[in-house]
Amino acid sequence: MAEIDQIREKWGSKIGFVLAAAGSAIGLGNIWKFPYITGENGGASFVIVYLICIAVIGLPVLIAEILIGRTTQRNPVGAFYKLSQSKFWASLGGLGVIAGFLILSYYAIIAGWALGYIIESINGNFYLWPDPTSAAGHFNDLVSNNYWNIGYFAFFMLLTIAIVFGGVQRGIERASKIMMPVLFILLIILMIRGLTLPGAEKGINFLWNPDWSKIDAKTVLLALGHAFFTLSLGMGAMLTYGSYMSEDDNIPTAAFQIVFLDTLVALIAGMAIFTSVFSVGLDPAAGPGLIFHTLPGVFVKMPGGYFFSILFFISLAIAALTSSISLLEVVVSYYVDELKWKRHKAAIILGFIIFLIGLPSALSFNLFSDIKIFGLSFFEVVDFLASNILLPFGGLLISVFVAWIWGLDKVIPNLKKGAEKLFENYPITLVFWKIFIKYLSPVLIFLVFLNSIGILDKIIELFE
């Protein structure tokens, strides 16, 4: 394990860190996944459960992750080693690096579709396939065209590599400081467009009037799992970004700002999408295809839809890019810290390897479409493995590690650095954090994990 500290890169400003971390959090999870799972799970009631999950699990675990990074000034592997002096925990940190490889390998494929759809919308192609069925057909034609699918995937990976190549301040921070405000403005324009459409109130009702009959234990666990994904937790991305912070930065406040921005964007995206979908009488429960199958037809029917469709897919691509750089950064920081690679070399080589790892997933829409593993395509297997297994498992390890291995008596003095005033004025926040991270998070995350791997069903059956 590398012990000698080189001069480590640092964020240039507090706001730079918050925007970069919010950029990691805000991504396809907010604009693509959150609206469609909300649509499938009854709207407002799901949103409320999700908000609770974010507050009681997401925020405490986010604080823990950033704190591990700031205290150790290391990548996930080096960080766990430094705090525990145990190879076992270091190898668990290695799972985060592996998750970085895997998640980016399929995340960049969907992000590539967003890039491709910017061009589709500029070309006015949605007008040729105006209803959801024909739009879905067109989408399937595009993703099964290897030149289109792999071409945009490669292009998106190049953009990601270029930013990470630039380094923490001149690459990631600078890109986030430009892209995040643009993203907010675009999404607000899209929300206003949605809200001013005839029939928009149906979409608002859907998002804000709860239907509790739709909520059961499964939906709660789904919401919890999504809270992890959307906050980039459980694989060391926030840990790595935290490792470029200074001791006098206030972690709880920054974490709160990140969570706030992430939630705000999910809700704004939800408002923009549901008002539009309802106003043209389409189905909000369209599933993963909501954005690529349903929305094109919505834009076609909406005044100014041509223009708004371009803005929408630009937002989606920007959101994905500020997340993908954090995924690549986890992997790069490991090679830079532990294996002493130069950042430039690491960004290019590792980015290329991730592209290669993603090829089977990309080809699963065409050449490999007949290959199924447990009934799932490559793409679905990698998604399942990363988001349903590695992330909750990582989140579990992080809360267990902080509360039980590193130990709260050592953790609290570190957490207080930079946040003295907050804890003096609101000591209750610290009490809550301790309870959540020590007891509530591990238990709840364990349940999500069991649910994700399908064991919870069997246990519930035993009791029925």
Residue from 9, 21, 30, 309 touching ligand PFF (CB under 6 A): that is: 30
Judged by CB under 6 A, the stretch of 21-29, 55-63, 347-355, 400-408 that binds ligand PFF is 21-29
Residue from 62, 190, 237, 251 touching ligand PFF (CB under 6 A): that is: 237
Q: How far apart are CA 65 and CA 237, in angstroms?
A: 8
Give me the least distance between CB of 98 and ligand PFF, in Å please. 12
- Structural tokens at position 215: 């909520």
Residue 103 in the binding site for ligand PFF (CB under 6 A)? yes
CA distances from 337 to 86, 170, 303, 332 (A): 17, 19, 52, 9
In the bound state with ligand PFF, the residue whose beta carbon lies nearer, of 108 and 142, is 108
Q: How far apart are CA 460 and CA 139, in angstroms?
A: 39
In the bound state with ligand PFF, the residue whose beta carbon lies nearer, of 235 and 403, is 235
Show the site string, 316-335: x = touches ligand PFF by CB under 6 A, - = not: -------x--xx--------
Residue from 68, 190, 235, 321 touching ligand PFF (CB under 6 A): that is: 235
Q: Count CB atoms within 10 A of the CB of residue 246.
A: 13
In the bound state with ligand PFF, the residue whose beta carbon lies nearer, of 278 and 334, is 334
Judged by CB under 6 A, the stretch of 22-30, 122-130, 272-280, 405-413 that binds ligand PFF is 22-30
Q: Count CB atoms within 10 A of the CB of residue 373.
A: 10
In the bound state with ligand PFF, the residue whose beta carbon lies nearer, of 302 and 350, is 350
Residue listed under structure tokens 């430039």: 344
Residue 28 in the binding site for ligand PFF (CB under 6 A)? yes
- Any residues with CB less than 8 A from the CB of 180 and at least 6 apart, and which? 19, 22, 23, 26, 322
Give me the least distance between CB of 319 and ligand PFF, in Å please. 7
Question: Sign of dihedral through CA atoms 13, 30, 397, 161?
Answer: negative
Binding to ligand PFF in span 252-271, by CB under 6 A: none
Closest-CA residue to 328 (of 396, 237, 260)? 237
Residue 355 in the binding site for ligand PFF (CB under 6 A)? no
Phi, psi of 373 (to 5 degrees): -115, 120
Closest-CA residue to 382 (of 115, 119, 134, 102)? 102
Number of residues in contact with ligand PFF, rule: CB under 6 A?
A: 15
CB-nearest residue to ligand PFF: 29
Q: Are 23 and 220 within 8 A, CB to CB?
A: no
Show the site string, 213-232: x = touches ligand PFF by CB under 6 A, - = not: ----------------xx-x
Q: Are 386 and 103 within 8 A, CB to CB?
A: yes
End-to-end alpha carbon distance in the chain: 50
Q: How far apart are CA 428 and CA 446, in angstroms?
A: 26
Rg (CA), the chain: 21
In the bound state with ligand PFF, the residue whose beta carbon lies nearer, of 98 and 435, is 98
Show the site string, 269-308: x = touches ligand PFF by CB under 6 A, - = not: ----------------------------------------
Residue 388 in the binding site for ligand PFF (CB under 6 A)? no
Residue 27 in the binding site for ligand PFF (CB under 6 A)? yes
**Contact positions vs ligand PFF (CB under 6 A):** 24-25, 27-30, 103, 229-230, 232, 235, 237, 323, 326-327
